[in-house]
Structure 1
């Protein structure tokens, strides 16, 4: 976590998120018809599981900014990631010259604009 920007100081938080593996599931069609072409379970997302997890955490913690994330584990049904969050309003973050760039207005909602490492990878930038 430290290699991805985490520091053991106030203002930093890690959150573990669980994402279901496999293709995206759509709701089952209602009414009688052939379901072969209705795309029930084989919709392949353009986003990685890691990015989906980051976005869910960013939505759940609107006062924090997503810094980065990393894989923790998986089983047959789920993948787990730990997401590193920083509080841009915390004085300890604002005073730290290594990380106070995240306090800029341009970094607000960065996870939803594809500015994290997983988001840049999904967009084909720098990887």
Structure 2
């Protein structure tokens, strides 16, 4: 796996934020919120010199933030690869590109200094308001 932790840390330091929408704006990736069926959560697409992240606007705000962080991972790690769409009813489809994008999202959304290793994964999930799967990616359990 690429050194995703270092890449995310560099982005956070450079832009002084963990907000995926702000980072996307700073690096000139256009984010669009569009209504899709529940089966499509989001995707990244590159056309000529433009990069777009499309997020399903029917998702709740926290889900949109997670999907945006995940798709930002695709935009930065896999920009020369075929389009990636999350169509499943989980945030976490399987495959090497998806695992890397999930790891990117976990590194971006969960600060190292706020991890509580004295808590269970379920408790950390509740603490951060994020799915347990993201906690596992942060802890390198995948």
More helix by share: 2
TM-score norm. by structure 1 comes to: 0.27
Which structure: larger Rg? Answer: 1
Which structure ranks higher in relative contact order (CA pairs < 8 Å, sequence separation ≥ 6)?
Answer: 1
TM-score norm. by structure 2 comes to: 0.25
More strand by share: 1
